[in-house]
Amino acid sequence: MLLHMKLIVGIGNPDEKYLETRHNVGFMFVDFVAKKIEADDFVLDKKLNAMVAKGYLDKKPVILAKPLSYVNESGGVVGKMARFYKVKSADIIVVQDDLDIEFGNCKNSFDKNSGGHKGIDSIINSLRTKKFYRLRIGTAVRALDKAREQSEKKRDAFVMDFVLSKFTPKDRETLKDVFKDCWMRLEQIVKQ
């Protein structure tokens, strides 16, 4: 095992129809990181059920992963990868979309509850701890505030449609700045 290896997992949905949707911003950021650090190409690891690439960030070995389970079942893949690579939970960084953070922002957290994100719930259950890092990329817009005032059924339907909708060209421009911010946060986490 390499010392202080970091496992950076972007969560998203694997099907092509979900490319560039808000729920897949974790995949998008991991692709950004792979380019930035000139990592190996992503390859399918059937045993781990993930696309995996290896590289170095700040001279530390990193595994970049995109689980091929759906967002809400990410935990099984993350748990399997943590065991396979013998990575401690504190060396895992999960990149996710976050409906509680305004679009255009990125926050990091450690040892926090899921905030209702089913994918994060799944990872917490699989790792049996919340002591891992998260890069939370904001996807919230004003329309969500109105949806939250609706009945539970209407709200849930709106949220599902919203997270599975694609970023507009203007949104993608904003994401460039968001990813720069997330990159700086990621570097700080890796240096610890």
pLDDT of residue 1: 43
pLDDT of residue 48: 96
List, in order of start, the domains of the chain with CATH numbers.
6-191 (3.40.50.1470)
From the list 7, 13, 18, 23, the catalytic residue is 23
Query: Is 117 a catalytic site residue?
Result: no
Q: Averaged in consecutive runs of 10 residues, what is the pLDDT profile of the chain (192 residues)?
A: 80 88 91 96 96 94 95 94 96 93 93 91 96 92 61 67 79 93 95 82
Distance CA 116, CA 96 (A): 12
Name the 3-class secondary structure at 35. Answer: helix
Burial-class residue 12 by CB neighbours within 10 Å (0-12, 13-18, 19+). buried
CB 39 within 8 A of CB 89: no
pLDDT of residue 3: 57
pLDDT of residue 106: 96
pLDDT of residue 146: 61
